[in-house]
Amino acid sequence: MIGAILREAWKSMGANKLRTFLTMLGMVIGVGAVILMLAIGQGAQYVVKQAIASMGSNLFIVLSSFSTTSGVRSGTGQAPTLTINDARALLELNTVAEVAPMQPGSRQIVYGAANWNTQVYGVTPGYFTVREWAVVDGDPISETDVRNATRVAILGQTVLDRLFGDEPAVGKTIRLENIPFTVAGVLDRKGQSFDGRDQDDTVLIPLTTAQRKVFGSQFPNSVRMIMVQAVSESAMAQAEEDINRLLRERRRTPEGQEPDFTVRNLSAVADVQAQTTKVMSLLLGAVACVSLVVGGIGIMNIMLVSVTERTREIGIRMAIGARRRDILAQFLLEAIIVSVLGCVIGVALGVGGALLASRLTSIYTEVTAWSVLLSFAVATLIGVFFGFYPARKAAWLKPIEALRYQ
């Protein structure tokens, strides 16, 4: 019986192909939009999650700001105010697990005929721990390198690609500010940071080498920033307090006066970013759902027209013994078939669109199984919901009145 009704429904849809197609189009666009939007949202969330994971955990960054005297910025404020000694002192805190004083700068790197402008960081061995960043080839920067200010460099994957291509790099000599450096190691791939930078576009050198030979600072012991890793997530609040107190003490900054450094909780910043992305993807999904509902209303519209047009057919069916539930089932099935078919095409288009978006733009997309399942469930529901009223209207016709309809 269901088989027969299904065939009937299929046939009457086939009889009016253009109308069936137009009805389906609403669903196709709706479902396609849902799949694509969810894929974009999911992709964005994934990228942020990856970036956060690649950042390292329980991190603070201490930045030197301008030194101020009684609230007035003095000219000497351009001087970096954080030192290696600050970093050493911070490491003594109970709530701090590791520190990484850093001196960054943008420099041209040359290898043979190839050259590339990249971000150079002067770092200590602590950097690799704090960033949870492994050296996949060669060795990281050691305490000895820092002590002796050796000319060794660790390359990020992007720099490696640009300068060496497929050539092995470890042991080769590159030039930085015309100073030869030996490539000691290559960093693992990190990907994007959560603010969208390519983290692999970097070269690491010993901090002391950076200070004395590359950046040539007039303040030999100063650093631009110090990354601080707390011992645990629960110790974050205490650590932040400790860092602030210690650094103020070391500078003898009076109570109530703005210090010449800032402490930023990177995990908190990342959380905000993650939250924002989540809200954005929810919004995208919601907008797409509206188009699904519009598609559903389209189905109802066409079904109502179809019921009116086929009143006589309904009358004939009733005259030869169709019960209300048979007519109801027929029209309901038609609505469901249209919406589910529309959904199948919509899923295909949405997935295709997502792949295309990934391929052609920098947008990362991720189609999840649950978004496809959700679309199917919603499409069926919409079919039932918006198909029910027209189907009921058809089923409740009086046989004789339906037959008389011209």
Pick 259 or 399: Cβ nearer another protein:
399
* Tokens found for residue 39: 């894929």
Regarding 400 and contact with another protein (CB under 8 A), the answer is yes
Regarding 305 and contact with another protein (CB under 8 A), the answer is no
The correct pick among 33, 37, 163, 318 for binding another protein (CB under 8 A) is: 318
Regarding 324 and contact with another protein (CB under 8 A), the answer is yes
The upper half-sphere exposure of residue 337, i.e. CA atoms within 13 Å in the direction of its Cβ, equals 19
Closest approach, Cβ 300 to another protein, in A, equals 23
Pick 329 or 347: Cβ nearer another protein:
329
Regarding 321 and contact with another protein (CB under 8 A), the answer is yes
Pick 37 or 322: Cβ nearer another protein:
322
Regarding 322 and contact with another protein (CB under 8 A), the answer is yes
Region near another protein per CB under 8 A, out of 19-27, 203-211, 240-248, 323-331: 323-331
The correct pick among 12, 68, 192, 253 for binding another protein (CB under 8 A) is: 12
Closest approach, Cβ 322 to another protein, in A, equals 5
Tell me how far apart the alpha carbons of residues 91 and 250 are, in angstroms, rounded to a whole number: 14
* Tokens found for residue 389: 């009223």
Pick 151 or 317: Cβ nearer another protein:
317
Closest approach, Cβ 196 to another protein, in A, equals 58
Closest approach, Cβ 402 to another protein, in A, equals 9
The correct pick among 25, 263, 316, 374 for binding another protein (CB under 8 A) is: 316
Q: List b or e across 37-63, with b for residues whose CB sees 16 or more CB atoms inside 10 angstroms.
A: bbbbbbbbbebbebbbebbbebbbbbe
Regarding 6 and contact with another protein (CB under 8 A), the answer is no
Burial class of 92 by CB neighbour count within 10 A (0 to 12, 13 to 18, 19+): exposed
Count of CB atoms within 10 A of residue 146's CB?
Answer: 21
- How many residues bind to another protein according to rule CB under 8 A? 25
Closest approach, Cβ 304 to another protein, in A, equals 20
Which of 58, 229, 56, 194 minimizes the C-alpha distance to 132?
Answer: 56
Regarding 319 and contact with another protein (CB under 8 A), the answer is yes
Region near another protein per CB under 8 A, out of 5-13, 69-77, 225-233, 375-383: 5-13
**What track of x and - describes contact with another protein for positions 328 through 367 (by CB under 8 A)?**
----------------------------------------
Tell me how far apart the alpha carbons of residues 180 and 110 are, in angstroms, rounded to a whole number: 9
Closest approach, Cβ 309 to another protein, in A, equals 12
The correct pick among 131, 162, 224, 317 for binding another protein (CB under 8 A) is: 317
Tell me how far apart the alpha carbons of residues 207 and 148 are, in angstroms, rounded to a whole number: 10
List interacting residues with another protein (CB under 8 A).
1, 3-5, 11-12, 15, 312-313, 315-326, 398-400, 403
